[in-house]
Amino acid sequence: MIVTVTLNPALDVTYRVGELVPHGTHRVSAVGLRPGGKGLNVAGVLHALGEPVLATGLLGGAAGARVTALLADDAVPAAFLPIAGETRRTVTVADDVDATGFWEPGPPVTHAEWAAFVAHFRGLLGDADVVALCGSLPPGVPVDAYASLVRLAAAGGVPSVLDTSGEALRHGLAAGPDLVKPNAAELSALLTPAGAGCREVDAAAHALTCGARAVVVSRGPDGLLALTRDEAWRGVPPERLTGNPTGAGDACVAALARGLRDRTPWPELLADAVALSAAAVAAPLAGAVDPETYRRLLPAVRVHAA
């Protein structure tokens, strides 16, 4: 199975209002609740594809209990470590124009809780084919947390996909993850200030020198770039899709984790990741993909050596 790790998940709350007026008061007409966090979206996509998956990470408090219940409603297998802090909420106010987001800070995690999670994660590796390590780190978790998990997985013979940013990405790279999936902005940030605006391929090459075995850069509607020490590929979607781009990167990680498990060759893997990302744009919610779009686009994705 594929194990997805979400250390800073959220209860995603959506408020529907007519029009957002700064410094006004709004009656919310509808409240939506969803499990939130990159790794949970990856698990949701894999589960929808019929792939064996287990979601793990840290959950606490009433919001954490609600996330657990929502995952159970969706029948997504999960084994989260309980923590004393309260899982954060992300509130999205959706008006007739667009969405406005408010992200609570993550809950504090104690040293003992982090140590317990590492032991929990080690216990899950026996059944894992691949681990996907996704998203930000809550306060209290060491900045090199992903490096520790990548090394534990590697010691157990389990390849890892890392999708994070900033310091968590920088430290994680040093442990040699099998695949990292930054977007272009996250990659440039690794090289800042000098790297701001540098070519993606140069930034990706830098990630390789930092330790990653392969880099897949998401380029939004322009598709994906894959770089290893020996190969370079570009995958381009056959058409521009309009919709909700929020979960596209997570659908991409789902495809990459599955491909890593199956040792899928790069051209085929990249085509799958491009089509699944596009199918996520066509679905209304993050963590879901539109099956019809996926089936239609998969044979039409153009992949070429870069």
Q: Is residue 21 within the footprint of a copy of itself (CB under 8 A)?
A: yes
CA distance 150 to 174: 10
Radius of gyration of the chain (CA): 19
Residue pair 184/177 in contact by the 8 Å Cβ criterion: no
Tell me, yes or no, if 250 is annotated catalytic: yes
Compute the C-alpha angle 119/125/126, nearest 5°.
115
- For position 185 contacting a copy of itself by CB under 8 A, the verdict is no
Shortest distance (Å) from residue 42 CB to a copy of itself: 20
Nearer to a copy of itself, 24 or 193 (CB): 24
From the CB of residue 169, how many other CB atoms can be counted at a distance below 10 Å? Answer: 22
29 binds a copy of itself (CB under 8 A): yes
Sheet holding 130-134, edge to edge: 81-83, 53-60, 2-6, 130-134, 160-163, 179-180, 214-218, 224-228, 232-236, 302-305
Lookup result for tokens 């968590």: 168
Write the CB contacts of 292 (distance below 8 Å, at least 6 apart in sequence): none
CA 305 to chain centre: 26
Q: Could you say which residues in the range 103-122 bind a copy of itself, by CB under 8 A?
A: 103-105
In the complex, what is the shortest distance from the CB of residue 238 to a copy of itself, in angstroms, rounded to a whole number? 30
Q: Which is nearer to a copy of itself, 15 or 266 (CB)?
A: 15
Minimum CB separation from a copy of itself for residue 241, in Å?
20
**Per-residue x/- track, 220-249, a copy of itself (CB under 8 A):** ------------------------------
Query: Two tokens at 270?
Result: 């990249």
Cα–Cα distance measured from residue 164 to residue 126, given in angstroms and rounded to the nearest whole number: 24
Distance of CA 48 to the CA centre of its chain: 16
Q: Please, what is the minimum distance in Å from the beta carbon of residue 149 to a copy of itself?
A: 25
Which of 49, 68, 77, 93 binds a copy of itself (CB under 8 A)? It is 93
Task: Taking the CA atoms of 64, 16, 248 and 182 in sequence, report the sign of the dihedral they define.
Answer: negative
Closest separation in Å from C-beta 161 to a copy of itself: 25
Residue with tokens 């830098």: 206
Binding mask 55-74 toward a copy of itself (x if CB under 8 A, else -) reads -------xx-xx--------
Closest distance of CB 207 from a copy of itself, Å: 25
Query: Which of 250, 262, 272, 290 is flagged as catalytic?
Result: 250
Nearer to a copy of itself, 27 or 240 (CB): 27
Q: Amino acid identity of 191?
A: L
- Alpha-carbon distance of 305 to 297, in angstroms, equals 20
**CB-wise, 64 or 159, nearer to a copy of itself?**
64
Of 147-166, binders to a copy of itself (CB under 8 A) are none
From candidates 50, 73, 75, 98, binder to a copy of itself by CB under 8 A: 98
Choice between 27 and 263, CB closer to a copy of itself: 27
Identify the CA nearest to 141 among candidates 187, 85, 90, 179: 85
Determine which residue in the list 31, 119, 143, 300 makes contact with a copy of itself, applying CB under 8 A: 31
Give 10 or 273: the residue with its C-beta nearer to a copy of itself.
10
Catalytic site positions: 250
Q: Which residues bind a copy of itself (CB under 8 A)?
A: 15, 17, 20-29, 31, 62-63, 65-66, 91, 93, 97-105
